[in-house]
Structures are given as structure tokens and as C-alpha cells.
Amino acid sequence: MTEGAVPRFWREIPQRYNLIANKCGNCSKVYFPPREVCPYCRRESMGKMEELNLKGTGKVLTYTIIYTPSEHFIGQVPYPIAIIKLDEGPKLTAQIVDCEVEDVKIGMKVKSTFRKISEDGYIGAIHYGYKFKPIEVKS
């Protein structure tokens, strides 16, 4: 592999593994994925965005059950995809793991975990990224 041909997912890894957000130094809004400019403050926030390491905990706002996986998906179907509101404020969409489909609930507390997301057939690369698992599963 020649220099400059580094696949996109490698460059994204630090962000994926650490759940780094940006916090506006002006209005304190938190953005994930990070943004350069706060859309709320606009120009006033220039140069005032701070890096923020997210704790990776939050709760399920809503969810959907996926019955048809995408081409490179690893794992079993059906599986739940949830919109999660992180404790710091930002929302993101992620798969819920370590949980039965019927046990996913709105308002359920979850925590980030790093898992295989997909396998890239032609170069054999495995993509990792964040998924979420329940903090507490009541049986």
C-alpha cells in the first residue's frame, strides 16, 4: 500500500475509539461527531470549540429492529438500532448489542462498547466502531 492511500476508516479510528466530541466554549453545547463551528453561535464560536471525551453513557430515545442486514454486516438478524442520547447531550445512532431484541426499551441506560461493524470483502479489512450495550439488564 502506497503512502496517501490509507483507507478512510483508519483515519477515523481515533474518533471512533474515544468518542471525542466538541464542546462550544461559548454556549456549552456538545457536538458529536465534532464540528468546527458551533451552528448555534455561528461565527462567535470560532476558535472556541473544545475537545471533550465523552463518557459513552446515555439512554435509548427510540429504536427500530432491523430484519435485513446490509451487505457486510457481521452478526445475526434481527438486531436493534437505537437513537441514543448521550449524557453530555448529543444524539447518535448505533446498534445495541448484548441484549435480546425484545429487551430493548425506550429510556434504557446504555454504554458504548467497541465491536466489529463490518468486514470489507475485497481487502479483508475489519471495521470497528462504537456500539452500545445495556448498563443493566433485568432478567
Give the β-pairing of 20-24 and 30-31.
Answer: antiparallel
Quote the cell numbers at residue 113: 462498547
CB of 41 to Zn ion, least distance (A): 3
Determine, following the binding rule CB under 5 A, whether residue 40 of this chain makes contact with Zn ion.
Answer: yes
Among 21, 38, 54, 82, binds Zn ion (CB under 5 A): 38
Determine, following the binding rule CB under 5 A, whether residue 17 of this chain makes contact with Zn ion.
Answer: no
Residue list 41-100, contact with Zn ion (CB under 5 A): 41, 45
CB of 30 to Zn ion, least distance (A): 10
Among 24, 49, 54, 84, binds Zn ion (CB under 5 A): 24
CB-based contact 113:131 (threshold 8 Å)? yes
CB of 90 to Zn ion, least distance (A): 13
- Give the closest residue to 129 by CA, choosing from 58, 60, 73: 73
Q: Which is nearer to Zn ion, 80 or 90 (CB)?
A: 90
Q: Which is nearer to Zn ion, 90 or 129 (CB)?
A: 90
- Tell me the DSSP string of 27-56: T--EESS--SS-TTTGGGGTT-EEEEE---
What stretch of H or E contains 115?
Answer: strand 109-120
Residues that bind Zn ion (CB under 5 A): 24, 26-27, 38, 40-41, 45
